[in-house]
Chains A and B, each alone.
Chain A
Amino acid sequence: MAEADYIIEMLNITKDFPGVRANDNITLQLKKGEIHALLGENGAGKSTLMSVLFGLYQADEGVIKKNGEVVNISNPNDANDLHIGMVHQHFMLVECFSVLDNIILGVEPTKAGLLQENEGRQKVIELSEKYGLHVEPDALIEDISVGMQQRVEILKMLYRDNEILIFDEPTAVLTPQEIDELMEIMRGFTREGKSILFITHKLQEIMDVSDRVTVLRRGKCIGTVNTADTTVEELSSMMVGRPVSFAVEKSDRKPGDVILDVEGVTVSSRLHKNNAVKDVSFNVRQGEIVCLAGIEGNGQDELVYALTGLEKQSDGKITLCGQDISKSSIRQRSVDGMSHIPADRHKFGLILDYTLEQNMVLERYWEPRFQRNGFIKFDAVRDYSDKLIEQYDVRSGQGSTTVVRSMSGGNQQKAIVAREIDKDPELLVAVQPTRGLDVGAIEYIHKQLVAQRDDGKAVLLVSLELDEVMNVSDRILVMYEGEIVGEFDPKKTTVDELGLYMAGAKRNIAKKGAEVR
């Protein structure tokens, strides 16, 4: 292939950070008009590589070429001048500005120092019609959905006449329907001759939309393949370095007694005047994994806060093992047999400046086992922590005395899982236990959840990842705007159907739990 066919080439890029070589001699070549996927686990170096291309970091070695000519990209403005644009995973939008303001921000059309808003508006409307990206230019960012916000990000790139579009994990926040639309939009761009770099760790999306895939593993380039010539299995073993089983192995469920019974729970919202959770009722039995699915911000967090006692419900009754715990303290609930793997492990799950052993006893330091007359039994804490570390394979620099902040995300999460499971709970509430983790760690945590179920425990899993919902759960409840709008057997439903319920287009449960199917 002639060199000129490549619009962007990153040749032999090496980038060191203190303690780690994030990119090790990586070569990535993007053809004009293709969708090129960049696949890798967390920490494989994808974001670093893209940050080098976008001018946020400087490569220690290697060159970047555009159309065969070496270019120097020392900051994002240089990237912009070369028509390289990026949609960041966490959107870079001004919440209280309108859509139009956000799009023109930084490249405002002016005349004699005065803002020519109409000029900008004209261009935005033209672009949105041309690519089918419909937005309301005068709506405020804070009022529009996440999917819309992403369109604004995309329009920002188009407004700047970018030809090389980088999408950093664009589908993480979207519903299945929105993902399909995004894929269509991306294909539309390539028809216009734009080139796309698509960062993801979701294999199915790569198979659906990309032309070629480059796989990174632990900072090294494993290879580039044509999507048409490869399979999901091959890609995953390239990514992880070994074959990965996607199907979660589990036997048929044998649900027993009701462990958690939730009746008419209502939680008021901190953000708005409406209730975040509206009159929700359900139960979780021994030996089953019930999954609460839904798009972020539909009341799942608040419901979990009410269950675990982090927030008070304004109405309703929560029963754990036949005991009314509606008004119990957090510690009482924990003693009564509830374990909680929180969604935000840095905010709730761990005290990052404490050592691993101090975190291992976070909910149990007061037990006679770990203290006498208020004095901590350091040896007992150390022994317990060492035991958990070994049993759950938590890896860290200095074992029990490692400061948790210095540990990797996967191992931090393993530490929480170890702590919560070792409490031997009747009910395990796991909220997005695999968020931000790589495939290997996800596999591990899923196994632990299933093991709890098989052990006759009740598991309530709250997840935004539909694959996880479908694979792990025995029963699915879909939450939409604070209500449970559907109940499904994962064997008898599809991702698309769940998506419709999650987006509020359908419901099979009326209020008060009456079936309307």
Chain B
Amino acid sequence: MKKKNGSPFIGGDALASIGASFISIIIGLVFGFLFLFLLSLINSGGESFSTIISNAWKYGFKQILMGGFYLPPISIGQEIAAAAPLILTGLSVGFAFKTGLFNIGAAGQYTLGAFGALFFAIVLKLPWWACLIGATLFGAFWGAIPGIFKAYLNIHEVITSIMFNWIGLYAVNTIMYGGGAGVMYDSSKTKVWDLRSLFPASVIPNLGLTTFFKNRSTTIAIFLAIIIAIIIYIIIDKTTFGYELKATGYNKSAARYAGISEKKNIVLSMVIAGALAGFGAGLYYLSGIAEWKPLDSTALPAIGFNGIAVALLASSNPIGTIFSALFISHITTGGSLMNSQYFPPEIADIISGIIIYLCAFSLLFKQLLMKRSSQKRSAELVESTLKEPPHIDSLVPETDIPESGMAAGEEDDD
């Protein structure tokens, strides 16, 4: 038997995953540029072709490519601040994927997490780390509900979590607004109270990052997010708990056969996914990036849904999630820096939307890449098989190489 060195529980398809992510990104960027080009073509007043292209570049695409680096250091700070919660929602979706669950409810869990963070900060007046715990608990609670429905009543998690997204959003808005007199509501600004001026202890410390980036919302949140990503990586890849979760995700029946409680694992997986999304909301609101607006927040937070793209782009790998979240944050930040006179600000969202959408295709590209590489390997196998002596006494081939190829290419006779 040949032995392969390296981590035993890492699949051999890691390279394909990374390659697929890059293909998605490049195709996404190409489409984004084409879109900008078409827009400037439509808006053009008879300029030459090269001017149109250069406008598309100058007023839009350059900003998207450069992201925060277009306006350093402030925008770099923004980019990093926005990446932190995105890492967490990406981890949330990716973690549930590992257990075979599609956590489309990250947005709702994120909303509840925001409520938890703000409630602990404004009403209970607790320090930032306690508020983060509060956010985590509220998110976990909201994740548990679809998990319980799935495990014990076999109701699909996508349906329940979509419904609980909206239940969560409107419940949070109603409680915070409180008819205009909610404890957390600043009616003069029609927002929740500003944490930075009124509850400075509940703002996540910045350890000088604010000064460095000249951006007051850049805190250590990004480091917390990275630490959580590493912890999740260890849980998934190194522990028996992760082994059980993945087993449940790959094959529920076999997990049950092995004596793993698949119901417990489904609920736990959703609880952890919810906790991660909630923690992400804590990172966002406790960094003071923005205040919650109960009257205006009639749409679910985009960070929750972008978590799906982040997770897909990273093939649910926790470490990959750090990078894919930074990338998504990079282009969204870049989008907000586009020339708003030439391109209306909504265009930025459309462009990042196109790119995020194509990122979701990385799974498809991964399959294509894997297929290609396996075909290449098969071609070599055929040759090596043919070089073998034609008569083989043993029923099972003596060499172990052809067999895996046979199993893959062969029609099952039975």
Chain A interface (Cβ < 8 Å from any Cβ of B)? 16-22, 40-44, 46-48, 51, 89, 169, 172, 218, 220, 240-242, 308, 310, 329-331, 334, 340, 342, 347-355, 357-358, 362-363, 365-366, 371, 374-376, 378, 381-382, 386, 389-390, 393, 395-403, 406-411, 435-436, 438-441
Contacts and interface: CB of A to CB of B under 8 A. Distances in A.
Contact of A407 (B254, B392, B403): B403
A330 B405 contact: no
A40 B410 CA distance: 14
A375 B239 contact: yes
B11 interface: yes
B240 A47 contact: no
A440 B396 CA distance: 8
B408 A348 contact: no
Among A16, A42, A398, the most chain B Cβ lie within 10 Å of the Cβ of: A398
Given A21-B382, A362-B258, A42 B409 contact: no
B409 A17 contact: yes
Nearest to B400: A395
Nearest to A402: B404
A20 B406 contact: yes
Contact of A20 (B9, B241, B243, B402): B402
Given A19-B381, A366-B240, A409-B412, A330 B257 contact: yes
Interface string B259-296: 10000000000000000000000000000000000000
A357 B403 CA distance: 18
Contacts of A242: 393-395
Nearest to B7: A378
Contact of B395 (A89, A353, A438): A438
Contacts of B404: 19, 396-398, 402, 406-408
A218 B395 CA distance: 9
Among B238, B241, B381, B412, the most chain A Cβ lie within 10 Å of the Cβ of: B412
Contacts of A439: 395
Nearest to A440: B395
Given A51-B411, A348-B253, A407-B404, A400 B375 contact: no
A353 B250 CA distance: 7
A240 B402 CA distance: 18
B53 interface: no
Contacts, number: 197
Interface in B378-398: 378-379, 381-382, 385-386, 390-397
B382 A16 contact: yes
A358 B402 CA distance: 22
A411 B410 contact: no
Contacts of B8: 355, 357, 378, 381-382, 400-401
Contact of B412 (A351, A406, A436): A436
A111 to B, nearest CB: 41
B294 to A, nearest CB: 42
B408 A351 contact: no
A310 B257 contact: yes
Nearest to A330: B259
B392 A241 contact: yes
Nearest to B401: A397
Contacts of B241: 374
Given A347-B254, A400-B3, 5 more contacts: A241-B393, A351-B255, A398-B2, A408-B403, A440-B396
B410 to A, nearest CB: 5
Nearest to B413: A42
B247 A48 contact: no
A348 B257 contact: yes
Among B1, B250, B402, B408, the most chain A Cβ lie within 10 Å of the Cβ of: B1
A398 B9 contact: no
A354 B250 contact: yes
B4 interface: yes
Given A353-B250, A397-B401, A19 B382 contact: yes
A172 B400 CA distance: 30
B250 A406 contact: no
In order of increasing CB-CB distance, the 3 nearest A-B pairs are A19-B405, A331-B259, A440-B395
A337 to B, nearest CB: 14
B1 A89 contact: no
Contacts of A351: 247, 250-251, 254-255
Contact of A376 (B243, B251, B379, B409): B243
A211 B247 CA distance: 50
B414 A436 contact: yes
26 contacts: A18-B405, A18-B409, A19-B381, A22-B409, A22-B410, A42-B414, A47-B413, A220-B390, A241-B393, A330-B257, A331-B259, A348-B253, A349-B257, A353-B250, A365-B243, A382-B8, A395-B400, A396-B403, A397-B405, A398-B1, A398-B4, A399-B1, A399-B400, A401-B4, A407-B407, A438-B395
A47 B247 CA distance: 33
A77 to B, nearest CB: 21
Nearest to B235: A374
B206 to A, nearest CB: 34
A16 B406 CA distance: 11
Nearest to A42: B413
Contact of B385 (A20, A389, A411): A20
A433 B401 CA distance: 25
A389 B1 CA distance: 9
Among A89, A334, A402, the most chain B Cβ lie within 10 Å of the Cβ of: A402
A395 B403 contact: yes
B256 interface: yes
Interface in B4-25: 4, 7-9, 11-12
A40 B404 CA distance: 20
A331 B407 CA distance: 32
B51 interface: no
Nearest to B411: A47
Contacts of A350: 251, 254
A400 B4 CA distance: 9
B187 interface: no
Nearest to A51: B411
A18 B239 contact: no
B43 interface: no
Given A374-B239, A401-B4, A406 B254 contact: no
A382 B404 CA distance: 20
Given A340-B257, A397-B403, A20 B395 contact: no
Contacts of B238: 375-376
B374 interface: yes
Nearest to B239: A374
A440 B394 CA distance: 9
Contact of B251 (A19, A347, A371, A381): A347
A308 B253 CA distance: 13
A300 B251 CA distance: 23
A399 B2 contact: yes
B393 A406 contact: no
Contact of B410 (A20, A329, A371, A386): A20
B263 to A, nearest CB: 12
A6 B12 CA distance: 51
Contacts of B247: 351, 354, 362
